[in-house]
């Protein structure tokens, strides 16, 4: 893979990481294309109302996904990198922590559903999806391969799993199966990935049966990850609560239309995590050796996030009517909503980069605070805008909430400089200086 020339970063130092991340990116792009094509086919077959019913069930799973993962993934990679000889203990402890958390989420979903039920979505659908979601505990194997810089194996699992999942859903469409089968199909996506991860891990000469639980390590991981757990819950709220509020305020058909918007807009959100995973080792090295270079690399990373997300936002804004020609005519009115929602990607990209900075500086509590602020903004604006503007109102609320969450850091004195750096990137200051230099 040819390594790009990124200002402020040593090309040779990044080669290993880009080769690894290149494979991860290929896998995620391949999975994205498969998912997008199949989601369009499913939306065409189910129509707005039935798609909204399924999405209502999935929303509860997503709302509790942060609690189920315990915010462990990033810390597990760090632990495995620092203590490779403790691999079985780290993976075993993390797995059982995530598995237990996933089981605990099932009664919590029951409570959430009965406090704020998704209109027209049977609770049975939530149960099916939440039960299969327990298999996500095996995603800890992904962290192992990241620590070994061997993401190509995860790419293989993701592509294979998505191909099987796509085949199943297309078969259901071909045989005109009822809605409940699609609920099982969406639930089985978690199981397919779990099976793939386990088989791949075993094929590499590792043994799942050697995993063991370490109580002291569990306490250590929870000590570091609890702010990210709460932050993740807040992020899930302001990323997914709009879907549930639309279903209950505007109806299940509007929820189905909005589901297509969210799927298309959020499909690109994996990109910043891949890029940050590639560049951050070099940034951390600079933090240790040269503070001035560290600051410069952080600024370059923010610039890169904008350079990647801005073209996507511009293209989708103007292409949205053409994109919706792939759907049936009943979805066409959602195109302007996509043109609004896609701009939230700029703040997702910047937020992902800044989140890594906060972890590096041991400021993860700020992540929780700003995520909570974003969730509150989104809920309040949804209550105000959905009744009067429908799904467009939800998109506006999401955009404002993402921006508010990302730049909330301006109000925190010890980290406000990062907010200024992100604003500099957002307004393309570095690019303009290069042009007129």
378-432 residue pLDDT tens: 999 999 999 999 999 999 999 999 999 999 999 999 889 999 999 999 999 988 8
43 alpha-carbon distance from chain centroid: 21
**pLDDT at residue number 312:** 93
Q: Which of 145, 245, 271, 275 is nearest to 200 (CA)?
A: 145
180/285 Cα distance (integer angstroms): 51
**pLDDT at residue number 433:** 87
Q: Which of 52, 59, 54, 60 is nearest to 180 (CA)?
A: 54
CB-count burial class (<10 Å; 0-12, 13-18, 19+) for 175: exposed
Whether 22 shows a pLDDT value over 70: the answer reads no
User: How many Cα atoms sit within 13 Å of 374 on the Cβ side?
Assistant: 35
- Contact present, 186 and 61 (Cβ < 8 Å): no
- DSSP character for 412? -
* Sign of the Cα pseudo-torsion (198, 89, 276, 238, in order): positive
66/381 Cα distance (integer angstroms): 23
Three-class DSSP category at 257: helix
Q: Which of 306, 14, 308 is nearest to 149 (CA)?
A: 14
Angle, in degrees to the nearest 10, between helices 11-63 and 252-266: 170
Over residues 201-215, mean pLDDT = 91
CB neighbours of 14 closer than 8 A, spacing ≥ 6? 3, 6, 278, 279, 282
Three-class DSSP category at 419: helix
Please indicate whether residue 133 or residue 115 has the higher confidence score (pLDDT).
115
Whether 266 shows a pLDDT value over 90: the answer reads no
Over residues 320-346, mean pLDDT = 95
Three-class DSSP category at 148: coil
CB neighbours of 291 closer than 8 A, spacing ≥ 6? none
Over residues 170-199, mean pLDDT = 92
Q: Which of 259, 257, 265, 261 is nearest to 312 (CA)?
A: 265
Other residues' Cβ atoms within 10 Å of the Cβ of residue 87 = 17
Q: What are phi and psi of 37, to 5 degrees?
A: -65, -45
Whether 321 shows a pLDDT value over 80: the answer reads yes
**pLDDT at residue number 3:** 47
Q: What is the mean pLDDT of the chain?
A: 86
């Amino acid at each position: 893979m040819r390594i790009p020339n990124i200002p402020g970063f040593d090309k040779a130092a990044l080669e290993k990481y880009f080769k690894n991340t290149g494979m991860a990116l290929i896998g995620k792009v391949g999975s994205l294309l498969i998912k997008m094509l199949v989601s369009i086919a499913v939306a065409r077959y189910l129509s707005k109302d039935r798609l909204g019913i399924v999405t209502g069930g999935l929303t509860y799973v997503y709302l509790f996904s942060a609690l189920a993962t315990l915010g462990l993934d990033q810390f597990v990679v760090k632990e495995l990198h620092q203590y490779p000889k403790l691999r079985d203990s780290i993976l075993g402890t993390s797995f059982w922590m995530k598995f237990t958390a996933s089981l605990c989420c099932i009664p919590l979903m029951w409570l959430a559903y009965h406090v704020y039920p998704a209109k027209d979505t049977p609770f049975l659908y939530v149960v099916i999806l939440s039960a299969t979601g327990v298999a996500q505990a095996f995603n800890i194997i992904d962290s192992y391969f990241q620590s070994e810089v061997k993401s190509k194996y995860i790419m293989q699992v993701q592509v294979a799993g998505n191909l099987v999942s796509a085949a199943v859903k297309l078969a259901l469409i071909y045989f005109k199966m009822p809605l409940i089968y699609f609920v099982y199909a969406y639930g089985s996506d978690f199981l397919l990935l779990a099976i793939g991860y386990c088989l791949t891990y075993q094929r590499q000469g590792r043994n799942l049966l050697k995993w063991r639980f370490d109580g002291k390590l569990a306490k250590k991981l929870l000590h570091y990850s609890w702010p990210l757990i709460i932050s993740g819950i807040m992020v899930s709220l302001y990323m997914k609560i709009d879907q549930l509020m639309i279903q209950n305020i505007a109806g299940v058909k509007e929820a189905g239309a909005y589901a297509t918007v969210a799927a298309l807009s959020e499909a690109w959100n994996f990109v910043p995590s891949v890029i940050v995973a590639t560049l951050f080792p070099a940034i951390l090295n600079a933090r240790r050796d040269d503070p001035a270079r560290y600051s410069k690399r952080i600024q370059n990373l923010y610039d890169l996030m904008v350079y990647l997300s801005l073209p996507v936002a511009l293209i989708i804004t103007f292409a949205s009517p053409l994109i919706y020609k792939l759907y049936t005519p009943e979805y066409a009115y959602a195109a302007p909503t996509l043109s609004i929602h896609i701009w939230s990607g700029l703040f997702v990209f910047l937020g992902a980069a800044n989140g890594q900075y906060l972890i590096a500086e041991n400021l993860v509590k700020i992540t929780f605070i700003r995520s909570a602020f974003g969730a509150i903004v989104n809920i309040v604006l949804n209550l105000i805008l959905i009744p009067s503007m429908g799904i467009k109102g939800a998109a506006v609320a999401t955009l404002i909430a993402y921006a508010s969450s990302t730049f909330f850091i301006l109000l925190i004195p010890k980290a406000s400089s990062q907010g200024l750096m992100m604003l500099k990137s957002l307004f393309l200051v570095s690019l303009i200086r290069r042009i007129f230099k």
